[in-house]
Amino acid sequence: MKNAIIIGASSGIGKDLALILVENDYKVAITGRRLIELEKIKSINSSQFIIKQHDITNFEQTIKVFDELVQEMGNIDLVIHSSGIGEPNYQLDFAIDLPTINTNILGGTLLYGLAYNLFKKQGFGHLVGITSVASIRGNRHVPAYFASKSYQASYLESLWFKAQKSKLPIYVTDIQPGFVDTPMALGKTFWMATSQKAAQQIYKAILARKKKVYITKRWALVALAMKLAPSKLYAKLF
């Protein structure tokens, strides 16, 4: 049986990925702030789920929880970083951006380092970050979220370069979803995948050890359009 840790698995994509991994013979540690949601997931398969209540913006706690899980589980094959938040911020109020920065940028950086250094010590492992197509360009409504996703994508690519250079079987995958129907999405919009469908495609990308993948696949087209669109047109639309 393989071991996985998913940070941010009390709902949404992280939760659905956890369910798929358990079906595929993984022991899975799931974390999040909402203990009640974690307990509900554990009740589905109490022998294969480990739960830890955890806030990624509490950096001491993040180190402690990660170390405890490594002690408890032994070798870790897969670490998935799914925790993430974002709020519109029209007035550029720093108090609105700060939780996004703490959760996505600082929390993410800490976790990436913990996972990569563990894999270096073990001699193997796979780090998966759920970033977003939001990483591609800026956005005037939700600037900190888009910037945080850009930071995450760039950091993950740096780790991918590091892993290549190391010659160790360490893999890094950047998952870039478009719209996925989860509590974060705040309502229906176009080309919105169910969380289950997104998780299935992410699982396939993990098996294939992809460097970067758009979820769902059709979002590769949107990503291309985002990259090519002239800034003046982009400013009008977004």
Ligand X SMILES: NC(=O)c1ccc[n+]([C@@H]2O[C@H](COP(=O)([O-])OP(=O)(O)OC[C@H]3O[C@@H](n4cnc5c(N)ncnc54)[C@H](OP(=O)(O)O)[C@@H]3O)[C@@H](O)[C@H]2O)c1
Give the interface with ligand X as residue ranges (CB under 6 A): 8-14, 32-34, 37, 54-57, 82-85, 103, 130, 132, 177, 179-180, 182-185
Smallest gap from Cβ 68 to ligand X, in A, equals 15
| Minimum distance, C-beta of residue 11 to ligand X, in the bound complex (Å) | 4
Q: Are 86 and 145 in contact (CB under 8 A)?
A: yes
Distance in angstroms (rounded) separating the CA atoms of residues 116 and 103: 19
Q: Which amino acid is at 191?
A: W
Alpha-carbon gap, residue 3 to 8, rounded angstroms: 16
- The distance of closest approach from Cβ of residue 159 to ligand X in the complex, given in angstroms and rounded to an integer, is 17
Cα 189 from Cα 110, distance rounded (Å): 33
Q: How far is the CB of 33 from ligand X (least distance, A)?
A: 3
Which one-letter DSSP state was computed for residue 106?
A: I
Cis peptide before 216 (omega within 30 of 0): yes
Residue 232 is encoded by which pair of tokens?
């003046």
Classify residue 48 as exposed, middle or buried by CB count within 10 Å of its CB (0-12, 13-18, 19+): middle
Residue 56 or 156: the one with the smaller Cβ distance to ligand X is: 56
Instruction: Give me the least distance between CB of 84 and ligand X, in Å please.
Output: 2
**Closer CB to ligand X, residue 112 or residue 179?**
179
